[in-house]
Each structure stands twice: as C-alpha cells, then as structure tokens.
Amino acid sequence: MARLPRLTAPGYVHQLIQRGNNGQAIFLDAQDHETYLLMLREAALANRVAIHAYSLVDENQVLLLATPADTQGLSRMMQTLGRRYVAMFNRRHHRSGTLWEGRFRATVLEAASYLLPCMSYVELAPVRAGLVRQPQDHRWSSAQHHLGLRSDPLVTDHPLHWALGNTPFEREAAHRGLLQQALTPEEVNKITAATTKGWALGSDSFLAALEELTRRRARPGRRGRPRKTSGPLIEGGDGVSRG
C-alpha cells in the first residue's frame, strides 16, 4: 500500500516527533542541544513556522508543537534543520552517514481541544522518560519558559495559551496547574499514536473539515470489508464549517 502524504495544513497546530536512526543518539552533549535549538529557531523564522512548545526528550528524540504559515513550511523547516544539524554533528563528532530515522512524523490537532493537552504531553515527556522529576528541571524544553523561569526566544505562545490569564503571573500559574494534572496513560497513548501514524486529533466535524481542506484522510478507515447494503447508498448533507 502506498504511503499517504504527510498531513499538513497552514494555520493549524501540528505536533511533530523526530528520532535518531535505529536509536542513534542525536545529542551527545550540551553544545549539541544548544546548536540544535539555535538552528531550529533560525529555520523556523526563515520558513514562517511558530514554535509553541518543544522538548529534546533524551539523546534521540525531539517533540515540537508548531504552526506553519503555509503548506510547505514545516517540511522546509525540518529539511533545512536536518541538513545543517547533521553536517555539524558529523563534523564535530568525526562520523559520517545518516542521523535521522527517516522523515519526521506529525499530526494536525484541533487547538481548542488539544493544544493544552499536547503542550502537557510535550513538556512532561522528560518526566515520563525518567530524566527529571519535575518538567521545569529539564533544561532542553519550553517548560521553563511557560513557568516564568526564563524567556525563550524560540517560543511563540499560542493565543489559547495567552487566554490562560490576563497577566504573566496568571498564565504561569495556570500552566503550572496544567503540568501538575499530568495526562492519563490513555491520553498519552492516543497522542503518541496520532503523531507517529499521521492521523489528526479532533472532533468529527474538525476531521471532516480537515479532510476537505487537505484532500487527504485525517483518520484511519474502518477495519474489515465494507458492509453490504440492500439499497442505493444515500449520502447525507452534513454542513461542516472550518474552525
């Protein structure tokens, strides 16, 4: 079966995951982390992609929440970042060859329902991985920015995050509460599966509108053979508005 094209939609929030090839470490020291984040910021600015949250989870995994301004923005950003970072990494660590596990994985999400849960998913990933006890203890994520511990020039806060409070103090307190609530194992599994398999996260109306916009399936089809019908198939006229 042919692989579906990546699901992308300008102006929508996407969650991305990028891994090292066959468990290959993509960060060996602090300088690697710092260089990756600097290159990510430059590539995001050049390709008009807003980064809302991120986490360099461990030695071989990156999670991002981002909104592209156009259809090709995410791919161009990741291609530019990938080429530049691999060249630096290979030169610095005296190696050659590929570094990434194929193409990056991504999902489109309905921001009203999934932006905040996915921010929690991204920033709590180092805790789930056993790297730190508290998300703010992880240096290589956006958690410290959202908790008011430092200002991160890489991060562009989403309007829904701004809506958490009228002042920075209120937003930071609300974000702290968000991270303290954590996610259930079922929620973590659902977000992980959507990101790795390329299916969108959202309501039925959101998914239908996204499929119309992108001309691509946004959700897995039903398993098994189509059910036989005794009469002609009549299509409903559901009206769906894009959010």
Residue ranges of the domains in the chain? 13-201
* pLDDT 10s digits, 4-13: 678 889 999 9
Cα 134 to chain centroid distance, Å, stands at 21
d(CA 39, CA 12): 23
Checking if the pLDDT of 230 tops 60, the result is no
Please report the DSSP string for 107-119 in residue order.
EEE-HHHHHHHHH
Checking if the pLDDT of 240 tops 50, the result is no
d(CA 229, CA 243): 34
Average pLDDT, the chain: 89
pLDDT the model gives residue 182: 83
d(CA 126, CA 139): 10
Give how far Cα 141 sits from Cα of 55, 123, 187, Å. Answer: 4, 6, 21
Q: Smallest Cα–Cα separation from 24: which of 124, 139, 102?
A: 102
User: What phi-psi label fits residue 196: left (phi over 0), alpha (psi between -120 and 50 degrees) or beta?
Assistant: alpha
Checking if the pLDDT of 228 tops 50, the result is no
Check residues 133 and 238 and name the one with the higher pLDDT: 133
Q: What angle do CA 59, 64, 69 make, to 5 degrees?
A: 145
Asked: is 13-201 a CATH 3.20.20.150 domain? The reply is no
User: What phi-psi label fits residue 45: left (phi over 0), alpha (psi between -120 and 50 degrees) or beta?
Assistant: alpha
Give the confidence band of 81 by pLDDT, cuts at 50, 70, 90.
Answer: very high
pLDDT the model gives residue 108: 96
